[in-house]
Amino acid sequence: MRLIILFIILHISLSCYTQDGYFIKYENGPIDNESATLLIKLNEERLVIASTADPDDNDPGWHLQVRVIDIETGTVDTIFNYSPYPGFRVIPEEYIFNQKGNLVFACRSRDNNLPGLIQGLFMLVEIDFDEGVIWSEIYGGNQFLNWKVTDIAQLDDGGYVMAGYGDHPETFRAQAILLKASATGDSLWVHKIHDQDYDVRAFTVEKGENNTCYFQFGSGDPAAQGKIKLEHIDGNDGSIIWDKNIPLDSPLFFKSLTNARGNIVLGGNRNINNKITPHYAEIDPLGNLVWAKSYEQALGFYHAEQFVETNDGGYAMCVRGSPYPVLFVVDRNGKYLFEKTYEIENYMSPTDLFQLEDGSFMIMGYEGATQEFSVWLIKTSPEGDLVSISGIESNQDLITVYPNPTSSIVRVKTSFVGKMKANLVDMKGAILQTKSSDSSDLDFDIAAMPNGIYYVNIFKDQVFFASKKVVKQ
C-alpha cells in the first residue's frame, strides 16, 4: 500500500502546541476500530462518512477519517486520515460546508501527551478534496477545563463560531463555551457561562442575520425545571444582544437546524420519570417558542441521535431503539407521521442521516457491541421501507450474486452454513420475491421485470446478513 504523507505546519492560536501535523491519503487503508459519527451528503451520487478511527499505523491515537462513498454501490473512492500528531484522538462532532464549498469539521479532541488532567480540546479542520487538509487549529489547552465541542456555524464575515462546554477535571462542574475563530482559524473571542453550583452545558449554535448567531445552552439547576436558554450573540465581539429562557420541562436539546421558514428547530430528548423520549421545539428569530412536542405516547422511550429537515418541510430523526435503529418522521408542526424499525444487527447505534431528492433516506450507524465497530449504511424508500443495507466493512464479500448484470436468472451463493432467506426488492423497498434455502445457494427469475436496479437482501437464520445490488438489462 502506498501512503502519501503531506506535512502541514499547524498554526495554533491558543499556543500550547508547536508540532507539525500530517495528512495521509490512501485507498482502503486498514482500520482496526472505527466509530462513525457524521453522514454527509455531497450530492445525489456521493456521500461522506466521517469517523474517529484507529488506523493500523502503530499510532496510539485515533484519527479523523473521512471517506467518500458511492451512494448506489457503497464503494469507497478515497480516504483521508488526519491527526495533528501521534497520540491525539480526534472525534468529528459536527460539520459545515463553508463559503468556499469546503468541509469544515468541529472536532472533540483529546491529547494524551498533555501532562495532568487537562486533555480535552476544541479542534477545527478544513478539508478540500483536491488539496487535502487546508488548515487545522486547536483551542482550549490552557483554560483549566476539558473542552468538548458540540456544534459549529459560519457567520457572514467568514468566521466560525463553535459551541460546547468545558468540564473541570476535579469538580466536574461544566461551563458553557462559545468560541469565535477567523476564516483561517485564529481565535478571536470566547464567551462563557458559568454557575458555581450547577452544570451549564451548551450544545447548539445557529447562524443569524447581520453577523450574529443564536447560542443555546441548558442549566443543571433543578429549580430551573430543565429550562433552556437562548442567547442572540453579536459575532463581532461576542456581546449578548438579548437572552431568553425557553419554558420547557426537562429537555436536553443537543442538535439544531435553521428551517426553511428561518426558525430554529431544536432536537433531542425529554426526561420523563428518568426515561427519555425524542423531543422537538421550534423557536422564531426573536426567541419566542412556536411549538414543542415529545413523543412518549406515539413512539415510546427511545434515544434521539440526529435529525434533518425533510424535503416537504417536516423532520426525520434517527433514534436508538432497544436494540435496533429506528427512523422517526414528523410533519412541519411536529405531528407524528410514522416510524420504522430495522432489525438488522443487535446494538447498532444510528448516528446520522439525510434525505435524497427522490425522498429516500440514508441512515448510518455502527455496531460496537463486539468492539469491532462495523459501520453500516441503510437506504430506505420515502416511506421508510428498507431498500438495502451495506456494510462498509461487512459481510458483502461472503455473498456472490451472478450473473450481474442479468436479463433473466440471478443466482445467489453464500459462503456460510445455515438456513438462508433472500428478498428481492425494488428501489422503493417493495418485496418482489422471497426465496429460502437450506443450502448455500438459490436463484431468482427476473426475466419479466422491467430493466433497472434491484437489491437482494440476504438473511442467515432469520437475521439480516448482507445486501447485494442487481442490475436487470
Q: What is the largest CA-CA distance in the chain?
A: 72
Measured CA to CA, the distance from residue 181 to residue 443 in angstroms comes to 58
Measured CA to CA, the distance from residue 10 to residue 54 in angstroms comes to 22
Q: In the block, which residue shows the cell 462498509?
A: 392
pLDDT at 234: 98
**In 3-state terms, what secondary structure has residue 35?**
strand
- Degrees, nearest 5: CA angle 287-293-296: 150
Measured CA to CA, the distance from residue 137 to residue 12 in angstroms comes to 5
Cβ atoms of 176 and 192 within 8 Å: the answer is yes
Cβ atoms of 425 and 393 within 8 Å: the answer is no
Long-range contacts of 293-297 (CB under 8 A, 24+ apart): 293/330, 293/334, 294/270, 295/328, 295/336, 296/270, 296/272
Residue type, 212: T
Burial classification of residue 291, based on how many CB atoms lie within 10 Å of its CB (0-12 exposed, 13-18 middle, 19 or more buried): middle
pLDDT at 65: 86
- Degrees, nearest 5: CA angle 388-47-463: 25
pLDDT at 328: 94
Quick one: which H or E segment has residue 290?
strand 289-294
pLDDT at 397: 65
Quick one: which H or E segment has residue 200?
strand 200-207
Each residue's pLDDT tens digit in the chain (473 positions)?
222 222 222 222 222 322 223 333 323 334 457 788 999 999 998 999 998 887 666 667 788 888 888 887 667 766 677 887 777 889 999 999 999 999 999 999 887 666 555 578 899 999 988 778 889 999 986 557 788 999 999 999 999 999 999 887 776 678 899 999 999 999 999 998 877 666 788 889 999 999 999 999 986 555 555 568 899 999 999 999 999 988 887 778 889 999 999 999 999 988 787 788 899 999 999 999 999 999 887 776 788 899 999 999 999 999 987 778 899 999 999 999 999 988 765 567 888 999 999 999 999 887 655 445 567 888 899 999 988 877 644 556 677 888 989 999 999 888 776 788 888 887 666 788 999 888 778 899 999 999 988 888 887 777 677 778 888 98
pLDDT at 224: 52
pLDDT at 308: 97
Measured CA to CA, the distance from residue 335 to residue 296 in angstroms comes to 13
Q: Which three cell numbers stand for residue 45?
A: 451520487
Q: Which of 308, 318, 355 is nearest to 44 (CA)?
A: 355
DSSP string, 62-128: -EEEEEEEETTT--EEEEEEEESSTTEEEEEEEEEE-TTS-EEEEEEEEETTSSSS--EEEEEEEEE
